[in-house]
Amino acid sequence: MTDAAPAPFRNEKALKRLKKRRAADTRFKFYGMSAIAFALAALSLLIISILSQAMSAATYHIVRYDVVLDPAVIAPPGKDKPADVARNIDGFYDLLRDNLLQTFPEVQGNRLETRQLGDLLTRLAVLPVAKSVAANPTQIGQEMTIKVPLNDDLDLYLKGAVSPEARLKLGTVEQGIETTPGRVTLSGANAFKGLQSLIAAQRAEVGDAVDARSILVTAGKSTGRVVSMSADTLEMDLLTGSASDFKGARPLARLIALPESQRNVSDDQIAWTLALKDMGRISRVPHFSLLTHTDSTYPELAGALAAIVGSLLTMLVTAFIAIPVGIFASVYLEEFAPRNRLTEIIEVNINNLAAVPSIVFGLLGAAVFLGFFGLPRSAPLVGGLVLALLTLPTIIIASRAALKSVPPSIRAAALGVGASKMQSVFHHVLPVAGPGIFTGAILGMARALGETAPLLLIGMVAFVADVPTGPTDESTALPVLVYSWATHAERAWEPMTAAVIVILLMFLITMNGIVVFLRRRFERRW
């Protein structure tokens, strides 16, 4: 006789509760995955936004000048010593400007155009050249190739960041005649019909605002600004080159959306830049000077070297003070301090200090370290002291949590074999709690690296043109440099700011990577 099969489970209430629990589990998993997806999407959006802006600052345009270093200009009698040559910025600038005037002789005699042509070159851009020639005076009197950055506004134009621009390849020009001085007429069967159609389509969208745009037509190193046109003829003011360059060519038309009065670059400057590029004198190169130059009032000359060194010195001071003090304080409070009211008050205040706004620590540093002790203003030493006070609560709290996680059996076993209290803590407890303590150090140092407000209050926002050589030298930091550059009105500072943010993130990743390596290196498994 076989046993009877068990009766089926027919408790409907239990089945409903089971189904409800499973539905709740499914919803919880969905909420968790949604939260993770949202966090990853937000992080990805932030990184993409920063990198997209920083990519523009990864490269910049330089202009090549082949000039003879005339001694009468760069080393006149009485000012021919190396120190005088290094300071003679005006002389080197005049050499390069005269080279531009020789390249575009039609500009001579027009003061406005001469000034605009000189604006292609930033005066301070020749300072490294002057120092190089001063260090090697044998170059004076010889021909030399000099490469300096292009003006930041024109650099942005070549990168397509000044104004929206529509480009159209025109038909073949059959003839180009200079009807009056500076006025050129191009002709060709239906050569300009496409340009007419494009303008008509845009006029239908935005109205008569199209007529206020600049329409530049370029063939080689020659550029003209359109005055009037039909399907077969086009009349324009010649900005660079000659009418003969257009004959037999298929010029490129550029419809610049913003009127000339609303841009920082004029049509003439665009024409000169395009001509220099056609001559092969303008090239786009990696922006290594961002890592080798210090701060400047001109974006094309500015770099973050001083801020990088300043952040490194500040972090070294912070780590030298905060990490050992925080670890020793946590060990004492957790392992040796008596459990009384005083200890409770200290623990409560440490937790409260972790939530104090960072600007309060800046006020404390300005009052105590600068006002009372008289330490140098805008120095990594003061910045490190302030950030050490800021990070101490974080390191202490994280280290105490790591010490609490150590099983009591390890302490008991150490004491049982005759170890003293200190031996059990330093030989057995600390090695086990090491990963957690290093995690606290990572969190504290990461917070310190990204802080700006305390450093502003102690004067590290100062303009620093020299690389600091020690913790007492005047310096700035990467977060402060980001804040400073972000407040500038010029459009060119935006990609530069994004590039410094990327440098700051790489600095943080490198620092955290070193700490993670040390944590795994000295981790002890039981």
Q: pLDDT digit string (tens) for 355-404?
A: 888 888 888 888 888 888 888 888 899 999 999 999 999 999 988 988 88
Residue showing tokens 């302030």: 386
What single-letter amino acid sits at 146?
A: I
Number of domains in the chain: 3
Output the six-digit token pair for 484: 């400073």
Looking at the structure, tell me whether residues 237 and 311 fall in a common domain.
no
The answer to which of 127-136, 434-443, 491-500 has the lowest mean pLDDT is 434-443
Looking at the structure, tell me whether residues 178 and 127 fall in a common domain.
no
Tell me the pLDDT band of 211, cut-offs 50, 70 and 90: low
- Domain boundary residue, one of 231, 263, 295: 263
pLDDT, one tens digit per residue, over 454-484 is 888 887 877 777 888 888 888 888 898 898 8
* The pLDDT value given to residue 209: 65
Give the pLDDT mean for 486-498: 86
* The pLDDT value given to residue 3: 58
d(CA 277, CA 268): 14
Residue-range definition of the domain harbouring residue 97: 59-149
Residue 45 lies in a domain: no
Residue 281 lies in a domain: no
Cβ proximity of 116 and 266 under 8 Å? yes
Looking at the structure, tell me whether residues 81 and 169 fall in a common domain.
no
Looking at the structure, tell me whether residues 134 and 185 fall in a common domain.
no
- In terms of Cβ atoms closer than 10 Å to its own Cβ (0-12, 13-18, 19+), residue 287 is buried
| Long-range contacts, 353-359 (Cβ 8 Å, 24+) | 353/392, 353/393, 354/393, 354/394, 354/397, 357/453, 358/390, 358/451, 358/453, 358/454, 359/453, 359/454, 359/457
Tell me the pLDDT band of 223, cut-offs 50, 70 and 90: very high
d(CA 314, CA 385): 8
Residue 236 lies in a domain: yes
Q: How many CA atoms, within 13 angstroms, populate the side-chain half-sphere of residue 173? A: 26
* The pLDDT value given to residue 12: 79
* Helical axes 430-449 vs 305-331, angle rounded to 10°: 140
- Give the CA angle between residues 302, 271, 122 to the nearest 5°: 25
